[in-house]
C-alpha cells in the first residue's frame, strides 16, 4: 500500500469512452489499496484549439486572459473523470489549480510552480479514501489571485510537483507511447524503449527536443528524487520506462539516446569589434527582450580587431531577436547580420560519455561520412549537440543511432 500520482495525457482522455478507461486504471490502483491523486490534461487537440481562438481574437492578446482561456481544457477533463470514477463506485473529487492551491509565479503562459500545499489532499486520503482528480497545467498567482498556466506540456510538471508535495511513492505518467525511446521511433523504426533512464539524461533529452516529458517536470523529479514512470494508457503491461538515480543503472553505454529539435534559428554577426563589452552589448538586449540564447560561437579574429559571432535562438523567437539586435546595432557595431531558420539541432546524450573517450569523435565522423556539415557544436559532461541544416536531421539521427549501436539491444 502506498501513495500514487497518476497523470493522463490528452490522448488518454480524448473522449468519454477513454475517460472511462482511465477511470478503470484508477480503480485498479485504488482497489490495490493505494491513495491516489490523478492529474489530467485537456482532451487531445483542445489546448491547440483554445490557443488558436486567442490568436484569432487578437494576435497581441493579454497573457492573463490567454491563461483564463487555455486553462479551461483541464477543468473539463477533471470534472468528467471525477464523474466517471463516481459512476464506477470510486469516491472522487475534482480540484482546480486555485483550489489546492498550486501557487505559481506571475509569468503568465509559462508560470513556474512556487509551492503546493498538499495537506488537504492527504487529509482526504486518510479520512475518506477519496481520490483527488486535479486539473493539470494550471495554478494561481498568490499576489494577483489570477489563474496561470505552466507552458505547453505543463501537466507533466503539475503531476511531478504534486507527487513531491504529497510525498508520493511514485508518479506514473500515462501517455500514448509505452515509454522513453532511444530516439523518435517515427524517424528510426528500430528505436528501442529504455527500461531505465537517469534523471540527468532525461533532463537533457527533454530540453534537447524529446517531447515525452516537459523539461521542468524532470527538473522537479531530479530535485525531489521523485521516482517517475512513463507508460502507455493503452498497454499498461508493456513495461514503461523508469526515471531513476544514476547509481541504479548498471550498464552505462556511451550514448543512451539521441534527441533533435527543429525549433532552431541561427544568427550571425559579421565583423564585430574584438574588444571587451561586445558580448554584453549583444546578449544584454536579447535578454531584455526575453529571448533565450542557446549555442554561441565566436571566432578568433585574424587581425585582433574584428571577428564574427554566431548564436542560436528558438525559431519562434527569431524575429524578436533580430529586432533587439538591430535596435542595438550602434552599440554593437557589426558590419553585417545574417539569419538562417533552416537549421536543426541534433544531440547525443549519455552518462556513460564521462567514462568513454572518443564519443564526440564518433559523432563527427559519422556526420562527415554522410556529407553533413556541422555549423555549431556545444557540449556538456553528458551530451554533445551539433547544429546542422534542417534537411539532414533524419539522416543524421538514423546514422548516429546505428553508429552508437542503439539499433541492437
- Residues in contact with ligand ASP by the rule CB under 6 A: 9-10, 41-42, 47, 73, 136-137, 152-156
Query: Out of ligand ASP, Mg ion, none, which partner does residue 47 contact, by CB within 5 to 8 A per kind?
Result: ligand ASP
Cβ nearer to Mg ion, comparing 152 with 306: 152
Helix (H) or strand (E) holding 178: none
Residue 75 contact, options ligand ASP, Mg ion, none, Cβ 5-8 Å cut-off depending on partner type: none
Please, what is the minimum distance in Å from the beta carbon of residue 232 to ligand ASP?
16
247's CB contacts (< 8 A; 6+ apart) are none
Burial class (CB in 10 A: 0-12, 13-18, 19+), 405: exposed
Task: Select 132 or 397, whichever has its Cβ closest to ligand ASP.
Answer: 132
CB 137, min distance to ligand ASP, A: 4
Considering only CA atoms, which of 73, 71, 67 is closest in space to residue 46? Answer: 73
* Pick 9 or 97: Cβ nearer Mg ion: 9
DSSP letter, residue 314: -
Per partner kind, with CB cut-offs from 5 to 8 A, the member of Mg ion, ligand ASP, none near residue 73 is ligand ASP
Distance CA 39, CA 78 (A): 8
Cα dihedral: 283, 284, 288, 292 (round 10): 20
Judged by beta carbon distances under 5 to 8 A according to partner kind, the member of Mg ion, ligand ASP, none in contact with residue 154 is ligand ASP
The residue (of 136 and 209) whose beta carbon lies closer to ligand ASP is 136
CB of 321 to Mg ion, least distance (A): 27
Cα(15)–Cα(44) distance, integer angstroms? 8
- Closest CB to ligand ASP among residues 8, 283: 8
Binding site for Mg ion (CB under 5 A): 9, 153
Q: Which does 10 bind (CB under 5 to 8 A by kind): Mg ion, ligand ASP, none?
A: ligand ASP
In total, the chain counts a number of residues equal to 409
Omega within 30 of 0 (cis) for the link into 377? no
Q: At closest approach, how far in Å is the CB of 8 from Mg ion? A: 10
Q: Tell the smallest beta-carbon distance from residue 40 to ligand ASP (Å).
A: 9
If the CB atoms of residues 18 and 266 are measured against Mg ion, the closer one turns out to be 18
Based on its alpha-carbon atoms, the radius of gyration of the chain, rounded to whole angstroms, reads 23
Torsions phi, psi for 184 (to 5 deg):
-65, 115
For residue 215 the three cell numbers come to 523539461
| Residue 244, φ and ψ in degrees, nearest 5 | -150, 180
Q: How far is the CB of 320 from ligand ASP (least distance, A)?
A: 21
Q: Nearest residue to Mg ion, using CB?
A: 153
Amino acid at each position: 500500500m502506498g501513495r500514487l500520482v497518476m497523470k493522463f495525457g490528452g490522448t488518454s482522455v480524448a473522449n468519454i469512452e477513454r475517460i472511462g478507461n482511465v477511470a478503470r486504471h484508477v480503480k485498479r490502483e485504488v482497489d490495490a489499496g493505494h491513495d491516489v491523486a490523478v492529474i489530467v490534461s485537456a482532451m487531445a487537440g483542445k489546448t491547440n484549439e483554445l490557443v488558436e481562438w486567442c490568436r484569432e481574437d487578437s494576435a497581441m492578446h493579454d497573457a492573463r486572459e490567454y491563461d483564463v482561456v487555455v486553462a479551461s481544457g483541464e477543468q473539463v477533463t477533471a470534472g468528467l473523470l471525477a464523474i466517471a470514477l463516481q459512476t464506477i463506485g470510486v469516491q472522487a473529487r475534482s480540484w482546480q489549480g486555485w483550489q489546492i492551491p498550486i501557487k505559481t509565479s506571475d509569468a503568465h503562459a509559462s508560470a513556474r510552480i512556487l509551492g503546493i500545499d498538499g495537506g488537504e489532499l492527504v487529509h482526504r486520503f486518510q479520512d475518506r479514501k477519496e481520490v483527488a482528480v486535479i486539473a493539470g497545467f494550471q495554478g494561481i498567482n498568490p499576489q494577483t489571485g489570477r489563474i496561470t498556466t505552466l507552458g505547453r506540456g505543463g501537466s507533466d510538471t503539475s503531476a511531478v510537483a504534486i507527487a513531491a508535495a504529497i510525498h508520493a511513492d511514485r508518479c506514473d505518467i500515462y501517455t500514448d507511447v509505452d515509454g522513453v525511446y532511444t530516439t523518435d521511433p517515427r524517424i528510426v523504426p528500430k528505436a528501442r524503449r529504455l527500461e531505465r533512464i537517469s534523471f540527468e539524461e532525461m533532463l537533457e533529452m527533454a530540453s534537447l527536443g524529446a517531447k515525452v516529458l516537459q523539461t521542468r517536470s524532470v527538473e522537479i523529479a531530479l530535485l525531489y528524487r521523485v521516482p517517475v514512470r512513463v507508460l502507455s494508457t493503452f498497454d499498461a503491461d508493456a513495461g514503461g520506462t523508469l526515471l531513476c538515480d544514476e547509481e541504479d543503472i548498471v550498464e552505462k553505454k556511451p550514448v543512451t539516446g539521441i534527441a533533435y529539435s527543429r525549433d532552431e534559428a541561427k544568427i550571425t554577426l559579421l565583423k564585430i569589434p574584438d574588444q571587451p563589452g561586445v558580448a554584453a552589448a549583444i546578449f544584454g538586449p536579447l535578454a531584455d527582450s526575453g529571448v533565450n540564447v542557446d549555442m554561441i560561437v565566436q571566432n578568433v579574429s585574424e587581425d585582433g580587431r574584428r571577428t564574427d559571432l554566431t548564436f542560436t535562438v528558438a525559431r519562434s523567437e527569431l524575429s524578436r531577436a533580430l529586432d533587439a539586435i538591430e535596435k542595438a546595432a550602434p552599440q554593437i557595431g557589426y558590419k553585417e547580420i545574417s539569419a538562417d531558420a533552416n537549421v536543426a539541432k541534433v544531440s547525443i546524450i549519455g552518462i556513460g560519455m564521462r567514462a568513454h573517450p572518443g564519443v564526440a569523435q564518433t559523432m563527427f565522423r559519422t556526420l562527415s561520412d554522410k556529407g553533413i556539415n556541422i555549423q555549431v557544436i556545444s557540449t556538456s559532461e553528458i551530451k554533445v549537440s551539433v547544429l546542422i541544416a534542417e534537411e539532414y536531421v533524419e539522416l543524421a539521427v538514423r546514422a548516429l543511432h546505428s553508429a552508437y549501436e542503439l539499433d541492437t539491444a
